[in-house]
Chain A
Amino acid sequence: MTDTRPPVADFATDWDHTDPQWVADPYPIWDDLRERCPVAHTERYGGGWFPATHAGVTAVAKDTENFTSRTVVIGNGRPGEDALPSPIGVAPPITSDPPFHQIARRVILPAFAPGPINALEPQMRALCRRLLDDMAGHEVVNGGSEYAQFIPTAVIRQMLGFPEEDEERFRDFVHIVIGGVNLPEEERIEQFMPIEEYLVHQIEDHQANPRDDLTSYLLNVEVEGQKLALEHVFGTIILVLIAGIDTTWSAIGSSLWHLAQNPDDLARLVAEPDLMPIALEEFLRFYAPVTMARLVKHDMEYLGCPMKEYDWLMLGFPAANRDPVAFKDADKFIIDRMENRHLAFGLGIHRCVGSNLARLELRVALEEFIARYPRFELADPAAVTWAPGMIRGPRNLPLRVLA
């Protein structure tokens, strides 16, 4: 889709998050917008706004009166009332607004609380070691397509309790679901059919044979004595697929990309394992992978801009994380930054439900990688490619292992 759009002349009046310049290196663009605007506008995608400051992002993230989450990924055009899903949304609770949002969120929070998530650590560590074993002896390993990519895919499949022999098929489905968010509706529906069939089959299998996993949990959990509607269970599984995979994959990849180019930071992490929880937050601040969207609920003047009903509002958490008003030396990666109120997982009622899981995956993935490879560098900096769109991370990441 990027190919068909004209190049951007000025991001202040014509921003496009799929423009090659933005995809390759958005940070200078955001710095410039923060100084000049600080809310950028575009006529693309049917019209939208992009606040580049921490204050602007914070205001919108916490404001469910003036913005709706009924769609959180910017589509090809301006959504109209008819094209919008119900207030429950297709993937509750991320696409839900209050008051339903709170019900849907309470349902899944216990499954993602630290207790059940931390219990996954041994199997996560075993998975990372298996992936590293598979690369053993290679001089160049791919931190993206051979490592980061596989970790959340396998973790989410295990959490949902889908069969291990479906791993490859599941991975293909995930790529379709993630890649499909930019496709025209008809094409997406057609591609989605086998996935829907598969998920329905898994749900039926869990109804017949309940077990200790997230799918059974969703099927059995009760809200005021009532089980969830099946479309709610289905929607939450879709949410886990969309929100739980390329996000974490991107965070792991970006962190490896950083370490490959900053041997001092790598050496420190290897020498000081206790630094990891602090370093993790700086990786998340500096390379926050996730940008979300909202829709403007009604015509209004907001952040000094004349916003119209159903304009897009792109919530740039990664841009907020680089705002010098909110962070000292915001443009510097400081591995032992002690004060770090970053917004990588959002703010307010839509704080990423999977943040405990994502942090654990990122920590285990990095710990295991640097334990196996205490020294590595980019094998070919020009070969590194970044995912376009609203989730940013390296996809192709060839790393040369050093003795």
Chain B
Amino acid sequence: MKVVIDALRCQGHGRCFTLAPDIFTYDELGNGQVVGDGGLTEDTISLARLAQANCPEHAIDIEE
């Protein structure tokens, strides 16, 4: 499983990297970025889903 951010939808609200700093970070504009390749483990999936559920722009996708 893998988490991705759609850069066209992300507007830099910053909810993802605040809620799940191990999975998400930000670029120089403050837009969300996935750390590494975005691969999720059983330990990190719930945090990724939490970030997804809080993104006002619906910019986070979790690929099965």
Instruction: List residues of chain A with CB under 8 Å of any chain B CB.
Output: 106, 109-110, 112-114, 277, 281, 338-343, 345, 347-349, 351, 355-356, 359
Contacts and interface: CB of A to CB of B under 8 A. Distances in A.
B55 A341 contact: yes
B29 A351 contact: no
B11 A113 contact: no
A122 B17 CA distance: 21
Given A109-B29, A114-B26, A347 B53 contact: no
Contacts of B57: 347-348
Most chain A beta-carbon contacts within 10 A, residue among B13, B27, B53, B57: B13
A60 to B, nearest CB: 15
Contact of B11 (A338, A340, A348): A348
A355 B28 contact: no
B18 to A, nearest CB: 6
Contacts of A112: 30
A348 B11 CA distance: 6
Q: Is the interface of B mostly helix, strand, loop or mixed?
A: loop
A114 B56 contact: no
Contact of B30 (A114, A342, A343, A347): A114
Interface in B19-64: 19, 26-30, 50, 53-58
Contacts of A348: 11, 57
A113 B26 contact: yes
Contacts of A338: 50, 53
9 contacts: A110-B28, A110-B29, A113-B28, A277-B18, A341-B53, A341-B54, A342-B56, A347-B11, A355-B13
Most chain A beta-carbon contacts within 10 A, residue among B12, B27, B53, B57: B12
Given A110-B29, A113-B29, A339 B11 contact: no
Interface of B: 11-15, 17-19, 26-30, 50, 53-58
A351 B13 contact: yes
A114 B29 contact: no
Contact of A347 (B28, B50, B56): B56
Contact of B14 (A106, A340, A347, A356): A356
B57 to A, nearest CB: 7
Contacts of A110: 28-30
B17 A339 contact: no
A191 to B, nearest CB: 34
A343 B56 CA distance: 7
B17 A114 contact: yes
Nearest to A339: B53
A7 to B, nearest CB: 36
A88 to B, nearest CB: 20
A359 B18 CA distance: 11
B29 A349 contact: no
Contacts of B29: 106, 109-110, 113
A236 B34 CA distance: 31
A339 B46 CA distance: 12
A341 B56 CA distance: 5
A347 B13 CA distance: 9
A72 to B, nearest CB: 17
Contact of B54 (A113, A114, A340, A356): A340
B55 to A, nearest CB: 7
A31 B27 CA distance: 39
Q: Which 6 A-B pairs have the closest CB atoms?
A: A113-B30, A351-B11, A109-B29, A339-B53, A341-B56, A110-B28
